[in-house]
């Protein structure tokens, strides 16, 4: 029986128009999706006449173990053209699609030369075919995302227990990573954001030497990777008692997020309507100008992937994992963002983020 990688490859070949014989995939992330093998120098040929995987001697042994269902060929120095061209002749293919959004012009030129006589085309929509497959997460992919999220939640709870007057953002970010890695995270999904006080008004602030003070709101945007899959979560907490305005803003963001989540849970499947569900709450309260980014994005093998939850709209495919992360950022003062991941199902959507969202005042 075909394994899941063979099934994915077969599904891709189904989508490729008949004037093409298949695809040449060179990006690491798509290579991993179709072969289960992580390699920064691998060329996966998926064609209607069979598959081949070409890499160099640093990776051949591991590749042969990981991709036993596919011919793995090694090119030695100066042999690239011979090996790549040889694979093309063996497969008897002439026209291949390439990933136009992930290939540089230089790579296109180089690949066209070594894969002669095959003609490579970046205009055939390969990226959108791969996107359509990757957006629909299966049960195993969801289990990886859930495992990563569980590590993030436990690690963030641990870090919240370390917050004291005088501890720095950078120290808290380090503690998150240390705890997450110790719990089995392969790596962080992205550089953690810990933004306290006035730094919180910068949605993607870099954690630095600022030390926590009473009355701060502190935004943590954190994620980890398990099985190649990312998790993404944001929580804003207070250290000490908050002002009336801080509490008001927090509760507006929470209500905005809940509206967008409810839209998805009740079966809504339009990206613009989901964005508007959150944005309208914030605008109606007069803070629309302080919510500059989109409401969310897809999550999977990459931290930001298709689709984007924005005014541009489009249908949310069943099987997509998207974030819902509205925020309000008042320059020079503070910011609030709250982010959950939602799994779009046939009938509605499931919340993948378990951590509490009510405002907590620590210390």
In the β-sheet with 216-222, what is the strand arrangement from edge to edge? Answer: 193-196, 216-222, 233-239, 361-362
Residue with Cβ nearer Mn ion (141 or 305): 305
Smallest gap from residue 233 Cβ to Mn ion (A)? 8
Q: What are phi and psi of 28, to 5 degrees?
A: -65, -45
Residue with Cβ nearer Mn ion (169 or 232): 232
Residue with Cβ nearer Mn ion (47 or 323): 323
CB 89 within 8 A of CB 115: no
Q: What is the CA radius of gyration of the chain?
A: 23
Residue with Cβ nearer Mn ion (182 or 204): 204
Smallest gap from residue 156 Cβ to Mn ion (A)? 14
Span 305-334, contacts to Mn ion by CB under 5 A: 323
In the β-sheet with 187-188, what is the strand arrangement from edge to edge? Answer: 187-188, 224-226, 229-230
Give the CB-nearest residue to Mn ion.
Answer: 232
Residue with Cβ nearer Mn ion (30 or 152): 152
Span 78-97, contacts to Mn ion by CB under 5 A: none
Smallest gap from residue 274 Cβ to Mn ion (A)? 14
Residue with Cβ nearer Mn ion (21 or 325): 325
Smallest gap from residue 340 Cβ to Mn ion (A)? 10
Partners of residue 227 on adjacent β-strands: none
For residue 273, with 0-12 CB atoms within 10 Å meaning exposed, 13-18 middle and 19 or more buried, which class applies? Answer: middle
Distance, CA of 287 to CA of 17 (rounded, Å): 48
Site string for Mn ion, 207-246 (x = CB under 5 A): -------------------------x--------------
Smallest gap from residue 237 Cβ to Mn ion (A)? 17
The site that binds Mn ion (CB under 5 A) totals a number of residues, namely 2
Distance, CA of 13 to CA of 226 (rounded, Å): 28
CB atoms within 10 A of CB 177: 18
For residue 276, with 0-12 CB atoms within 10 Å meaning exposed, 13-18 middle and 19 or more buried, which class applies? Answer: buried
User: Roughly what angle, to the nearest 10 degrees, separates helices 28-35 and 126-134?
Assistant: 60
User: Residue 111 in 3-state DSSP?
Assistant: helix
Per-residue b/e over 288-315, b at no fewer than 16 CB within 10 Å? eebbeebbbbbbbbebebbbbbbeebee
Smallest gap from residue 149 Cβ to Mn ion (A)? 12
Smallest gap from residue 339 Cβ to Mn ion (A)? 5
Residue with Cβ nearer Mn ion (114 or 341): 341
Span 130-149, contacts to Mn ion by CB under 5 A: none
Smallest gap from residue 341 Cβ to Mn ion (A)? 8
Residue with Cβ nearer Mn ion (196 or 294): 294
Q: Which chain residues interact with Mn ion by CB under 5 A?
A: 232, 323
């Amino acid at each position: 029986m075909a394994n899941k990688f063979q099934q994915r490859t077969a599904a891709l070949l189904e989508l490729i128009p008949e004037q093409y014989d298949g695809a040449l995939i060179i990006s690491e992330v798509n290579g991993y999706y179709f072969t289960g093998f992580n390699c920064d120098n691998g060329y996966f040929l998926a064609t209607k006449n069979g598959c081949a995987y070409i890499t160099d001697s640093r990776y051949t042994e591991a590749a042969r173990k990981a991709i036993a269902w596919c011919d793995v060929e090694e090119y030695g120095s100066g042999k690239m053209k011979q090996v790549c061209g040889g694979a093309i002749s063996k497969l008897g293919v002439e026209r291949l699609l390439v990933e136009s959004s992930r290939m540089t012009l230089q790579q296109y030129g180089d690949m066209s030369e070594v894969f002669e006589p095959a003609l490579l085309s970046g205009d055939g929509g390969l990226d959108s075919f791969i996107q359509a497959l990757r957006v629909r997460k299966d049960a195993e992919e969801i289990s990886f995302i859930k495992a990563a999220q569980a590590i993030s939640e436990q690690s963030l709870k641990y870090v919240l227990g370390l917050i004291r007057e005088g501890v720095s953002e950078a120290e808290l970010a380090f503690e998150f990573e240390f705890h997450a890695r110790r719990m089995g995270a392969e790596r962080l999904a992205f550089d953690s954001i810990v933004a306290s006080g006035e730094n919180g008004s910068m949605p993607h602030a870099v954690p630095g030497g600022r030390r926590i003070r009473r009355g701060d709101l502190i935004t943590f945007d954190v994620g980890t990777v398990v099985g190649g899959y990312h998790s993404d979560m944001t929580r804003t907490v207070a250290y000490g008692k908050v002002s009336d305005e801080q509490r008001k803003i927090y509760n507006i963001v929470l209500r905005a997020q809940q509206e967008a989540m409810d839209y998805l849970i009740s079966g809504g499947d339009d990206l613009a309507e989901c964005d508007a569900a959150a944005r309208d709450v914030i605008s109606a309260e007069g803070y629309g100008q302080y919510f500059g980014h989109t409401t969310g994005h897809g999550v999977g093998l990459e931290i930001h992937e298709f689709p984007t939850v924005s005014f541009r709209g489009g249908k949310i495919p069943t099987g997509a994992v998207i974030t819902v992360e509205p925020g309000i950022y008042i320059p020079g003062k503070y910011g609030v963002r709250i982010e959950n991941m939602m799994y779009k199902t046939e009938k509605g959507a499931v919340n993948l983020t378990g951590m509490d969202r009510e405002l907590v005042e620590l210390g």
